[in-house]
Amino acid sequence: MLAFTLKGNRYTDPIDGKSFRKFLPYGYEKPRENVLSPSTLSLERHRLLWLYLSRDTDFFSKTYKVLHFAPEQAFYKRFRKLQNLNYTTTDLNSPLADVKADICELPFEDNSFDIILCNHVLEHIPDDKKAMSELFRVMKSGGWGIFQIPQDLDREVTFEDDSITDKKKRAEIFGQYDHVRIYGRDYFQKLTEAGFKVEPVPYASQMSEEDVERFRLAKNEVVPLVHKP
């Protein structure tokens, strides 16, 4: 019903192609205006990922074995329907997940997956080094993945402080009360140290200003693309 009342042609959700006169606000401490799609409930990062996968990869056409962490509402049913994918979801708590698992102790064999999607997960994990090691272990040689995180590109070094326990204070500093760090530019080096070849793709900035606005993207957000040699 809400999606119907917001129908228009100013903004478009590329995931389902529907257009609206405006999107909804979303956020914890500081809600962002006009970012939540009324139809798919996608945010900026979801729409950017969809555009990248659909335009610049063969994700939707080639046969792949895929592992998807914390499957997002905007993607879950759509990816599940793709006949070309052997698609497995995993999460520690989500009822949507096929496999309940701790990212730091994954119950999969080495070199199991062609593609791994792990988006906005690592900022929740105290031992992200171990998690990255596990992601590397279960990815096939020659495989690739996208590991999006909240990232402050103005910050050189990732900041974390376990002594900050107040939920409100954590939300102010880390963006959400259940985040344990705010990643800086060294995030890519952390992935490299785990064994990955890392290619930060400045995908939004490669688009026209008109498309960035039409799809309601974060213009400086990059796609953290990784490959396992």
CA atoms within 13 A on the CB side of 82: 19
Answer yes or no: is 5 within a domain.
Answer: no
pLDDT tens, residue order, the chain (229 aa) = 566 678 888 999 999 999 999 999 998 777 899 999 999 999 999 999 999 999 999 999 999 999 999 999 999 999 999 999 999 999 999 888 999 999 999 999 999 999 999 999 999 999 999 999 999 999 999 999 999 999 999 999 999 988 888 888 888 888 888 899 999 999 999 999 999 999 999 999 999 999 999 999 999 999 999 999 9
Answer yes or no: is 43 within a domain.
Answer: no
Answer yes or no: is 154 within a domain.
Answer: yes
What are the tens digits of pLDDT across the range 132-179?
A: 999 999 999 999 999 999 999 999 999 998 888 888 888 888 888 889
Domain count along the chain = 1
Structure confidence at residue 2 (pLDDT):
63
Answer yes or no: is 18 within a domain.
Answer: no
- Rounded to whole angstroms, the Cα distance separating 160 from 181 reads 4
Answer yes or no: is 205 within a domain.
Answer: yes
Structure confidence at residue 176 (pLDDT):
84
> 129: closest CA among 52, 191, 185, 78?
191
Answer yes or no: is 39 within a domain.
Answer: no
Q: Residue 33 corresponds to which tokens in the numbers above?
A: 């205006």
Domain residues for 163? 61-227
- Asked if residue 71 lies in contact with residue 80, where contact means CB atoms within 8 angstroms, the answer is no
Answer yes or no: is 158 within a domain.
Answer: yes
Answer yes or no: is 45 within a domain.
Answer: no
Q: What is the CATH number of the domain that holds 93?
A: 3.40.50.150
